[in-house]
A and B are shown apart, each in its own frame.
Chain A
Amino acid sequence: DIQLTQSPSFLSASVGDRVTITCRASQGISSYLAWYQQKPGKAPNLLIYGASTLQRGVPSRFSGSGSGTQFTLTISTLQPEDFATYYCQQLNSYPITFGQGTRLEIK
């Protein structure tokens, strides 16, 4: 199985900050990576697919980059509604796997 390791696991930041979350894959996955945001009591919401393509309706302050084994999700200017847990997911090979999550909290 392909292991995805997110860093950090916990992040404390302020409204207006720029934050970056990293996802490292245990083997190359080309650009078959997606990012999700999950708020308490809700289903995850797709933000980015294909490593860098913004899902329709997602604000442009979210961006993704990377290929191979290292990927990043960047939020350019944190808004209050962005405080949530973020997951990466690889779709390169079965079984599909997720990172362990990064919890983003208000400082």
Chain B
Amino acid sequence: QVQLQESGPGLVRPSETLSLTCSVSGGIISYYVSWIRQPAGGGLEWIGRIHTTGGTNYNPSLMSRLTMSVDTSKNQFFLELDSVTAADSAIYYCARDSQGLDYWGQGALVIVSS
């Protein structure tokens, strides 16, 4: 059974860097992981995705502030978003990206506030 779990600080100060980890279990070998966020009461926004080989596709609206990386030895995927503002406050999800996003983490709430 494939499982994903997000982890990271729930509170980030404005202008600082948001950092999240997605830990994957279930024995899958080669795959993409997408990051998606959802502001409170809002819709879904695709942030970007990364393959286990390290290849990435980013949303142009966030590209200048975004870095994704992977540590395949630990089955962990990382998201860093620089220079955050209150507009970056949201639930952040990671999901396996196959034919659609078929397995999701439970989500990590991140609040940007001083």
Contact = CB atoms under 8 A, between A and B. Distances in A.
Interface of A: 34, 36, 43-46, 48-50, 53, 55, 87, 89, 91, 94-101
Nearest to B60: A95
Interface of B: 34, 43-46, 49, 57-61, 93, 95, 99-102, 104-107
Nearest to A47: B100
B44 A44 contact: yes
Contacts of A55: 100, 102
Contact of A100 (B43, B95, B101): B43
Classify the interface of chain B: helix, strand, loop or mixed: strand
Nearest to A95: B59
A47 to B, nearest CB: 9
B45 to A, nearest CB: 7
Nearest to B105: A43
Contact of A46 (B61, B100, B106): B100
B43 A49 contact: no
Given A34-B100, A49-B99, A50-B99, A96 B93 contact: no
Contacts of A49: 99-100, 102
Contacts of B102: 46, 49, 55
A66 to B, nearest CB: 15
Contacts of A89: 44, 46, 100-101
B106 A87 contact: no
A100 B39 CA distance: 13
Contacts of A34: 99-101
Given A34-B100, A44-B44, 13 more contacts: A34-B99, A36-B100, A45-B104, A46-B100, A49-B100, A50-B99, A55-B100, A55-B102, A87-B44, A95-B58, A95-B59, A98-B43, A98-B46
